[in-house]
Amino acid sequence: MSVAGAELHYRALERLYASAPVNSLFASRLEILDEGVSRINFDVTPTIYHAAGAAHGTIYFKMLDDAAFYAANSLATDRFLLTTSFNLHFTKPVREGRVVAEGRWISGRKRVFVAEARLVDVEGEEIGRGTGTFMRSRIALSGLPGYSADAR
């Protein structure tokens, strides 16, 4: 794929992320930085706390899965990938502030992709890490309204 074609694909994936209804629940923004590399910036606020006053594990999973997923899907220009498994490790609770999910593709390009992600808090400390396996679906990216250039 040409550099220009890759950039168009990355921007379309960013629009796809922004168009997902679930993402209206979180103050987050996806960036595809390069082939196999993604970053999601998001804010942890008290609205996502568990009973003990820190971010609930669902936010860890969501942001780790999304970062790894989009890192992997940056290599698949034709089909939407599906998460088939995801393993995560919580290393530190986070209470409030900006968190960055950094995704990186590890292996696979045909049917199955493996990618990892890590969460880093405002102090630069890792607070979580995960690895996912993703496979091509039958869903064409071009058929998804958020992926098209017209969905802004």
In whole angstroms, give the CA distance from residue 99 to residue 117: 13
Q: Is the pLDDT of residue 149 over 70?
A: no
pLDDT at 5: 86
Give the count of beta carbons closer than 10 Å to the beta carbon of residue 151. 13
Angle, CA of 113, 118 and 122, to the nearest 5°: 155
Tell which wins on pLDDT, 3 or 70: 70
Measuring CA to CA, which residue among 4, 15, 120 is closest to residue 70? Answer: 15
- Model pLDDT for residues 4-53, shown as the tens digit of each residue: 889 999 999 999 999 999 999 988 999 999 999 999 999 999 999 999 99
3-143 folds as Thiol Ester Dehydrase; Chain A (3.10.129)
Computed on alpha carbons and rounded to an integer, the radius of gyration of the chain in Å comes to 15
In whole angstroms, give the CA distance from residue 79 to residue 23: 21
pTM over 0.85: yes
